[in-house]
Each structure stands twice: as structure tokens, then as C-alpha cells.
Amino acid sequence: MTVLLSSSRFNLRSPECLTETEDAGLFSHAVTESLIKSLTDLMSSPTPNPICLQTIDCRKGSAAQLFTELREKLSPRGDVVSEAGRRRTIELFGEALTPREVVRRICDDVRSRGREALLEYTQKLDQKQLTGETMRVSADELEAASRAASPEFLATVRQIRDNIAEFQKAVLPQDALVERTLNGGTVQLRQRHLPMKRVGICVPGGAAAYPSTVLMTAVPAMTAGVPEIAIVVPPTEFGGYNTEMLATCHAIGVKEVYRVGGAQAVAALAYGVEGINRVDKIVGPGNLFVALAKQHVFGDVDIDSIAGPSEVIVLADDTANPEFVAADLISQAEHSPGSGVLITWHEPLIEQVQQALEQQLSRLQRGDLARKALEDYGAIILAKDETEAAELTDQLAPEHLHISMSDPEPMLNRIRNAGAIFLGHFTPVAMGDYIAGPSHVLPTGGTARFANGLAATDFLKRSSVIRYDQRSLAGDADRVRLMAEKEGLTAHSASVDIRLK
């Protein structure tokens, strides 16, 4: 037996055992049992492992291609399925289907067969046998969860609710009014805002419980004045049977909670089934199948976005603390999948952050998951200067952007594309995820180029209200006739003429 050790990772000094081959890290058959035990103990200790994080040096010619590949990796396409997923699909559907085909099959089935199909897929996919009565969380269950939750947790929930409501009220628009005098008459133009009647919210519950998602979706809708809110959550210990999740619903006044998840739950919200009325809009995060289902039903209902894995870009200068930066990168990667990207023009920061990552990952409960996510979807980008760093950030258009600089405002003014922006060394993304006030439901995968984070405004319908009297109608009549003539729409012109005879 020969054991090969890397001297950069192990520092074993035992003079009575080491030989002249020490520098090569080679030990012969003659190692003693005590040394073997020492080696075993050492290799099982929490010694940091080097992280294999992709590094892109924009000063080199290959950087452009690497950056393009990174951007593509951060834009999930939704048609790739693992071998295990392929086998599972064959078991359920009798043939190999892409995720999009699976979602189409499920949504169409729920649309045509209603609650029967919904409960069948819940049994097949979640291994939970529910009935029309047990799929809805009862008022007694919500109240019981509230009693079981700790007073400290409930107080925190209420404080977060108040923070969110305070911010969301501030962004609500006012109705607009324009009055115009024309030909001795009056034109009145208004824009009014009314809340949607009914909204559906998807809350994840597969690997962890997310009461924060309930707050960050339901409270903006409530602030907008939506009277009916229905939450769907998987029938799991982290979802529809989770005390804190249900207690949060009770604390903020959500009365409709259904223990169904996945694409089948999205379809039930979009089309309506027995026991669940159709909604006007579906919001909230979920796995790939939830995201694709929301895309599939869009048009029958509105949706917030088609969300991908969580992501953060940390834009850092020479004032950044590498320990802080590493923690920010890990905090999104631990969602697994999740992405963390560092962009800096201060080269010494790179090695410092890598060392900090190795130390922190070795200590965290989800360190192994975060490490894999960073190695698969993360990167460190060395920009030429601040200008290029800002340009690269805008190209990636991240969900979360943390500007880790002592004076972040000038850099903020250079950035156009980001879902939520966190300024300075003492504003980690976790503050936005949990308590600050803006919703943590944000555009991912580069969609911050055109999409926005969820807000109370997304639950409002806008209508323009137009009123002419006879004199003002006559004042604009000739211009309407001219445009109607040019477009060949003579009935438009006639609808004006008949009123002026």
C-alpha cells in the first residue's frame, strides 16, 4: 500500500516515522498502526479543501468565451433531465419526456379532469394520499399551528409583516387625472388602479420550510388590497404540515392553504378545480417544474416570472472584507442550486476570498452543497477596471447585486440591471431575503434586463378612463377622421360623425 499526500494540505511531522521521501509525500508498507490512525484522523478532520472555482481574467483573450459560457450556465433552459429523472418519468408516464413535456401532460390533465387528476398526481409524485377535504388546511389546523409556534417566532413574523407593508405602501401608485379644455368643451382623462380579486401563491416545501416566502408574496398582495389569497404548498413536513409555515399564514391572515405542490398545483390555480377556485395571477418560487408550469399557464392567468436558481454578484473593491465576500457568495450557493459570482478589479482580493471560502465551507451545515453549487455555477471575474466591472455586471443582470465598497453610490449609478441591490459592507443579501421590506421574489437568469422584483404594484390592474363632451368631441373630430381614412377604418370615422349630426 502506498499513500500519497499533498504537502499543501497536510502538515504531518513525526520524525521517527518520516524518511527522506517525505517531500514527495510517499510512505511505504512499513508505516505503523499509530501512523495510519493519525492519517485517518487527519483526513477526517475539518481541514479546508481547495475550492475549484472558475476564474475569468478579463485581461486575457480567453475571457470573453468563458464569460459567455458562464452567462449561459446562469440562464436555465428547462429541457435537461438527469438519468434518474428520466427513469422516474418513464415509470410515471410510460415514456421518456423532457421536463416541458411532463409539465404539459400534467397541466392538460388537470385542466380536463380537475381535482381527480390533481389528487392523483399528488399521490404519484408526493406519495401523499389526500381527499378533497384533507387537501385544504382547516381553520383549526392553522390556529393550532399558531398556538404551537414560539412567541418569539410569531413576534418576528409580525415585525417582518409590518416592514414589508410599510415599504409596499410607499410604492403604491396614485390614480392620475388630466383635464383638457378643447373647443369650449372638456376632455377628462383618468388612470385608475384596482386590486386583482384573487391571487395564487406557490410556496416551496421540498427540502426546507419557507415562511419567509409566505411573507414576501402574500403581504405585498394584501397591501395592494387583494381580497382573496390562496397558497399552495407541497404536502410535506417542510410544506403543508410545517408548524412555522402554517403559523405564518395564520399570523398574517391567510385563510386558504392547500397541501398540493408542483405543476399540478399551478394548473389547479390557473384553471380551477373542485375545491380551488381559479385565480387571476400566480406568483412565488418553485423548482423547475413549477417554473415551467407557470410559463405553460401564462395567458390563462398572469404570472410574476419564470424563476431559476438563486444568484448573487458581489462587486468588490480594495476596501472589501474577503470574509464578508465569501459569506455573501456562499449564502446564495447554499440554496443548491445557487450561484455566487465575484467581480473585482483588485487582484489580491481573489486569493483572499478563495481562502475564506475554503475555511467557511468546511464549517457550514450545507457546506458541501454550497461548494458544489459554486464549482458548478460560480465564478471569480477579474475585471480590468471599475468601468468594465460595471459593464460585466449589467450583462449578467443578476438577481441580487451586492456592491461591497466603502462608497457604493458612484458604482450604483453605473448599474442598470439587477433585481435587488445591496449597498456597502454591512448590508448582506440576507437582510433583503428576510426582513428589510422589498420582496425577495426577484428576476433570475439575466431577466433583470427587463423584469422587476415582485411588489404591491404587480397586484393592481390599471384602467384608463376617458370622457369627452359634445364640444370637445367636435374639436378632435377632424383628426380622428384623418387617421381613420389613412388606416381604411371608415367605421371609426362614422362613430364620430353620427354623434355630431
CB 136: neighbour CB atoms within 10 A? 19
d(CA 384, CA 58): 6
What residue has cell string 489580491? 348
> What values do phi and psi take at 222, rounded to 5?
-65, -40
Active site residue: 399, 402, 409, 485, which one? 399
Active site residue: 250, 296, 335, 400, which one? 400
Closest by CA to 295, choosing from 71, 6, 77, is 77
Closest by CA to 99, choosing from 244, 288, 267, is 288
Are 384 and 295 spatial neighbours (Cβ–Cβ below 8 Å)?
A: no
d(CA 3, CA 19): 14
Helices 115-126 and 262-271: crossing angle, nearest 10°?
Answer: 170
Closest by CA to 213, choosing from 439, 371, 452, 396, is 439
d(CA 284, CA 213): 7
Are 118 and 269 spatial neighbours (Cβ–Cβ below 8 Å)?
A: no
At 463, is the secondary structure helix, strand, or coil?
strand
Q: Are strands 228-232 and 198-202 parallel, antiparallel or unpaired?
A: parallel
DSSP bridge partners of 175: none
d(CA 9, CA 50): 9
At 335, is the secondary structure helix, strand, or coil?
coil
Closest by CA to 103, choosing from 261, 296, 268, 281, is 296
346 an active-site residue?
A: no
d(CA 229, CA 85): 33
Q: Give Cα separations from 145 to 150, 242, 247, 248, 488 (angstroms).
A: 10, 8, 5, 9, 65
As a whole number of Å, the end-to-end CA separation of the chain is 106
d(CA 167, CA 307): 23
Element (H, E) at 310: strand 310-316
d(CA 208, CA 129): 21
d(CA 438, CA 423): 14
492 an active-site residue?
A: no
> What values do phi and psi take at 16, rounded to 5?
-75, -15
Look up residue 56 and give its amino acid. Answer: I
d(CA 400, CA 328): 10
Active site residues: 399-400
